[in-house]
């Protein structure tokens, strides 16, 4: 295309004319892809959180209070849940 101010031939995707600096009228807008990814990550975090809670409730119902089995379960659950949350936070910051 040509600059509407100075008539210089410029690239079709150019936002500003390199010769006179005049705006070409093309808006170099980026697609809102990031927003979709963020909401997806948010849903993932929520799912992870609720699945973890469901797992905890099931585990607490299965094992009687004060038993070694329950203490072992709580330790295992805490480590697993902690690691998965850490991974989610890591990916959330990375993306
Ligand atoms: Zn120009």
Structural domain boundaries in the chain: 1-29, 33-94
- pLDDT mean across residues, the chain: 82
User: Considering Cα of 86, then 92, then 93, then 95, what sign does the dihedral take?
Assistant: positive
Burial class (CB in 10 A: 0-12, 13-18, 19+), 77: middle
Quick one: what percent of the chain has pLDDT higher than 90?
12
Ligand 1 centre distance from Cα of residue 20 (Å)? 4
Ligand 1 centre distance from Cα of residue 30 (Å)? 24
pLDDT reported for residue 93: 82
Residues surrounding ion ligand 1 at CB below 5 Å: 3, 5-6, 8, 17, 19-20, 22
Is the pLDDT at 6 greater than 70, yes or no?
yes
What number is the average pLDDT over the span 27-55?
71
pLDDT reported for residue 38: 66
């Amino acid at each position: 295309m040509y600059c509407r101010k100075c008539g210089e031939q410029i690239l079709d995707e150019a936002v500003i004319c390199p010769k006179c600096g005049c705006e070409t009228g093309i808006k170099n807008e980026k697609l809102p892809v990031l927003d979709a990814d963020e909401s997806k990550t948010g849903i993932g975090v929520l799912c992870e959180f609720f699945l973890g809670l469901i797992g905890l409730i099931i585990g607490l119902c299965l094992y009687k209070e004060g038993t070694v089995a329950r203490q072992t379960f709580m330790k295992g659950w805490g480590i697993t849940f902690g690691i998965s949350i850490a991974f989610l936070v890591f990916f959330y910051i990375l993306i």
